Structures are given as C-alpha cells and as structure tokens.
C-alpha cells in the first residue's frame, strides 16, 4: 500500500490510516456543507456531506473543500500561491447558523452533524 494512503474500514465512524508503516484508527464525523451564491454556481451543487476526522477545525474544512473542488471555488476560498484562506469580508462562514469571524476559523471545532454554510455576500 502507498505509505500515505488513507482508506475507510467497515465503519461509518472510523478511518484506518496507514502512514510510514503505522496504523491508527481515527474517529470521523459527518459535516453538512451548504453552498450559496457564486459558490453554489461554481460547483453546481447546493450542499454535500463530508466525512472528516473528529476535532477538525473550520479552517481545516475550508482547506479540504478548496482541495476537493480545485478550480474556481478552490481559488475563491484559498490563495493558490500562499495556500492561505482568503480574508474576504464579502464571504461569510456560518456553523450551525452562527457567523464565525475570519479570525476564529482556526479555533472553531466542528462536531458530528454540524452544518457549515459558505455564503458569499456579493450584490450587484
């Protein structure tokens, strides 16, 4: 197996990760991601459910979404040169309906069944 390969085992709540000849069981949670405005248009879907490791932060989820949806949405959320989440005050992140300030995305931990909304606040 590839030493950096990640694969699911027979469970909806655990991943078995093989890395450098070591194995770990990692608890996972399901996160619902809702896309609005231009984000929805960019990926042609309004929502999806992602499985991530327990104690994933909103910052880590944003980076994962940018990687999964490489292209317009990826570069909209993350600067492709610096790999930093873009500071854009016209872009809102909500977790379970509560707006998360940009400064708090690295400190906001997601729990099982959390809903993350990505809302571009563009008008024109």
pLDDT digit string (tens) for the chain, length 124 residues: 444 444 444 345 555 555 555 666 778 999 999 999 999 999 999 999 999 999 999 999 999 999 999 899 999 999 989 988 988 878 999 999 999 998 999 999 999 999 999 999 874 4
Find all residues with CB under 8 Å of 50, minimum gap 6, and list them.
30, 31, 33, 61, 64, 65, 68
CA distance from start to end of the chain = 51
What token pair was written down for 119? Answer: 């809302």
What token pair was written down for 92? Answer: 């809102």
Hey, what domains does the chain have and what are their CATH numbers? 29-120 (3.10.20.30)
Gyration radius (Cα) of the chain, Å: 15
Contact assessment for residue 119 and residue 92, using Cβ atoms and an 8 Å cutoff = yes
Contact assessment for residue 107 and residue 77, using Cβ atoms and an 8 Å cutoff = no
pTM for this one? 0.79
DSSP state of 105: G
């Amino acid at each position: 197996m590839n030493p950096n390969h990640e694969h699911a085992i027979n469970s909806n709540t655990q991943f078995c990760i093989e890395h450098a000849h070591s194995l770990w069981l990692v608890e996972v949670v399901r996160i619902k991601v809702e896309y609005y405005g231009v984000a929805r248009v960019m990926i042609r879907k309004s929502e999806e459910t992602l499985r991530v490791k327990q104690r994933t932060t909103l910052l880590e989820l944003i980076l994962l979404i940018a990687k999964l949806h490489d292209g317009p949405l990826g570069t909209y959320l993350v600067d492709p040169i610096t790999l930093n989440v873009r500071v854009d005050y016209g872009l809102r992140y909500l977790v379970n309906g509560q707006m998360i300030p940009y400064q708090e995305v690295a400190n906001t931990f997601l729990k099982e069944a959390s809903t993350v909304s990505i809302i571009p606040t563009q008008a024109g």
